[in-house]
Amino acid sequence: MLKLHITNETSRLRAVVLGLANSNGPTPTLAESYDPKSAQYIKAGTYPIEEDMVKEMTAVQKVLEKYDVKVYRPEIIEDYNQIFTRDIGFVIEDIFFKANILPDREREIEAIHEVIDQINPKKVHRFPEDHHIEGGDVMPIGDHIFVGTYRESDYSEYITARTNMKAVKALQEMFPDKKVKSFNLRKSGTDPRMNALHLDCCFQPVGKDKAIIHKNGFLDVEEYEWLVNFYGKENVFEIDSDEMYAMNSNIFSIAEDVVISEKNFTRLNTWLRAQGITVEEVPYAEISKQEGLLRCSTLPLIRD
């Protein structure tokens, strides 16, 4: 049996599901793209190719294994994108949540049955179908759970709106001892610099008490200010819209003092090292063309 344990984003990682770029399928059509950044690269004819993405994910696996992390991979579905495991599930405390994702991605959850079959069935949970939720929007932070959402009346018009308030309220009911704090995210179906697909596209905790934040990812300035105050201004690394577009807030913590980051994130990586954090740099620029990076392609199961 797998004994799950996740209470935050940065404690020492012991087990994780890393996505898969093998048999990724042909370049999607514009109609098939889920986000404005992928659409941009499809139009330009520079959508990432499988061989490059497999290399990038292999580099991440090597880093994880260097730190003795148990790495699970999904079963291969032929001609199918299985990179972003964070979308399909998440763990809070000892409960595995199957995400209610876009319906045509349901097969991705079935492809990690090897992991789910090792979990006590009483500890596997799924919200009702109309409670939309994806792992990129959910962050356990000690006695808080931060959740990215979209609270505007045109929610249903955005394929980029992934987590709704029904799911936020259900999380609060499941964890009455925690403060579930939702953040209203900026959505765009056409401009990737104005679209926070998930909370981890504009915010991420790092180290013991630090955070990476992109102000414009938040629709409500008060919520952005609340976050800055929560960490303290001196502990926050602010990223601009180009850095947000490149996915600077989507790195991944192996421990409070070790992160995996993209090798081109020069300004961020310099800051992280100045905080005493070891930065394991990997190439991930091709995968980032799909509006996802390192946090998006990892699903942590056990942290200390």
**Best CATH choice for the domain 13-202+215-233+284-303 from the list 3.75.10.10, 3.30.2350.10, 3.30.450.190, 3.40.50.2300:** 3.75.10.10
Predicted local confidence at residue 48, as pLDDT: 83
Residue 195 — very low, low, confident or very high, per pLDDT cuts 50/70/90? confident
The three state secondary structure string of the chain is CCCCEECCCCCCEEEEEECECCCCCCCCCHHHCCCHHHHHHHHHCCCCCHHHHHHHHHHHHHHHHHCCCEEECCCCCCCCCECCHHHCEEEEECEEEECECCHHHHHHHHCCHHHHCCCCHHHEECCCCCCCECHHHEEEECCEEEEEECCCCCHHHCCCCCCCHHHHHHHHHHCCCCEEEEEEECCCCCCHHHCCCCHHHCEEEECCCEEEECHHHECCHHHHHHHHHHHCHHHEEECCHHHHHCCCCCCEEEECCEEEEECCCHHHHHHHHHCCCEEEEECCCCHHHHCCCCCCCEEEEEEC
Q: Confirm whether pTM is higher than 0.85.
A: yes
Work out the angle at residue 111's Cα, subtended by the Cα atoms of residues 106 and 115, and round it to the nearest 5 degrees. 120
Q: Kindly state the tokens that stand for 158.
A: 């955005």
What's the CA gap between 16 and 276, in Å, rounded? 24
Tens digits of per-residue pLDDT, 112-146? 999 999 999 999 999 999 999 999 999 999 999 99
Residue 39 — very low, low, confident or very high, per pLDDT cuts 50/70/90? confident
Tens digits of per-residue pLDDT, 237-296? 999 999 999 999 999 999 999 999 999 999 999 999 999 999 999 999 999 888 789 999
Domain boundaries, the chain: 13-202+215-233+284-303
The whole-number average pLDDT for the span 162-183 is 97
Predicted local confidence at residue 138, as pLDDT: 98
